[in-house]
Amino acid sequence: MTTVAAYAAPAAKAPLERTTIERRAVGEHDVLIDIKFAGICHSDIHQAREGWGEAIFPMVPGHEIAGIVSEVGPGVTEFAVGDRVGVGCMVDSCGECENCRSGREQFCTGSGMVGTYNAVGKDGEPTYGGYSQKIVVDERYVVRIPDGLSLDVAAPLLCAGITTYSPLKHWGAGPGKKVAVIGLGGLGHMGVKIAHALGAEVTVLSQSLRKKEDGLKLGADHYYATSDPKTFEELAGTFDLILSTVSAPLDFGAYLGLLKTGGALVNVGAPEEPVSLNLFSLIGGNKTLAGSMIGGIAETQEMLDFCAGHGIGAEIELIGAAEINEAYERVLSSDVRYRFVIDTATI
């Protein structure tokens, strides 16, 4: 066991504070990672405030982890000391069920996916996330960060990157396709960059035109305000694919009206409240309303290689650990361009 400095929420809705946690001894197939950077994902805030249901406290959030391997277990074959690596939303699964074997470990039906934090590991101990200085992870849940990507801008790719890359790939974003991204936040800005790099014609649908200049710089071809009812008239029947990245409840029926016949609206946001939908907006035009949750380990590696190949990192605001609580408030008021990343040396 190693004692490690961390930032934790001691209870639901309580401010995060500095503490120490224990990391397990490095096992046969484990790597010890010196965490350098950890992104702040909106879901960290949902969970630290119990917005998604009962949670485990104290909680050390953080599932956008980038660091350097500092020790490996005797059975580790893929990683060596000094390697640049990342850890995303999961640190374990059964490895044997149909989903695990097909690279969709996030939907493990055996032991279930073990979340990087706010979960219980196979050893019966709670898992603690990336707002800390070190983490011990089974090598099967560790990915390689290519040399061309700086660790600070790579960290958010481990959740925001894969969450948008996976559905964009799955639903065929590419040349000749018109793709809209709803919301230009942490997820949305990655969606724009990745959809653009995949060769799609990209439109941002944002509440206002406040971030229009940024959106166009990030790779969007068009930018519309959804607060303007004319947007929904003008863009009716336009898109092959719409990716919704917002966690506020939306009028999905209105957005389905923007799809071409046979188009798909994929939701990756996780609102705390249910939404309602008139199903006529689906059956008229054979439309699909789909969901997507992060991606498997192999696909996460593919995404990192793709991002490195296209020079894509997240747009970040680097903060010290003492600023985490303030950063949470700013995320909630959409005042971040576009991801806060904690320099874990400051913990």
> 68 or 97: whose CB is closer to Zn ion?
97
Smallest separation, CB 155 to Zn ion (Å)? 11
CB of 220 closer than 8 Å to CB of 192: yes
138 vs 240, beta carbon nearer Zn ion: 138
| CB-nearer residue toward Zn ion: 26 or 38 | 38
Least separation in angstroms between CB 191 and Zn ion: 14
> Residue 156, preceding bond cis, omega within 30 degrees?
no
Tokens 């949305």 found at: 188
CB of 193 to Zn ion, least distance (A): 17
- In this structure, the number of other CB atoms found within 10 A of the CB of residue 69 comes to 21
Compute the least distance from the CB of residue 299 to Zn ion, in Å.
15
Would you say 162 and 169 are in contact if contact means Cβ atoms under 8 Å apart? Answer: no
* The two structure tokens encoding residue 168: 């964009």
State which residue, 90 or 258, has the beta carbon closest to Zn ion: 90
Which helix (DSSP H) or strand (DSSP E) does residue 288 occupy? strand 288-291
Taking the least distance from each CB to Zn ion, the nearer of 26 and 243 is 243
**Residues making contact with Zn ion (CB under 5 A):** 41, 43, 93-94, 97, 100, 108, 110, 159
Q: What Å distances lie between residue 18 and 10, 30, 39, 306, 310, CA to CA?
A: 10, 26, 17, 36, 37
Minimum CB distance to Zn ion smaller for 89 or for 149: 89
From the CB of 108, what's the least distance to Zn ion, in Å? 3
Q: β-strands 84-87, 65-72: how paired? A: antiparallel
Only one residue has tokens 């653009």, namely: 196
Q: Which of 68, 192, 202, 150 is nearest to 316 (CA)?
A: 150
State CA 268 to chain mean position distance.
9
Closest distance to Zn ion from the beta carbon of 43 (Å) = 4
What is the C-alpha separation between 54 and 100, in angstroms, rounded? Answer: 26
Q: What is the DSSP letter of 173?
A: -
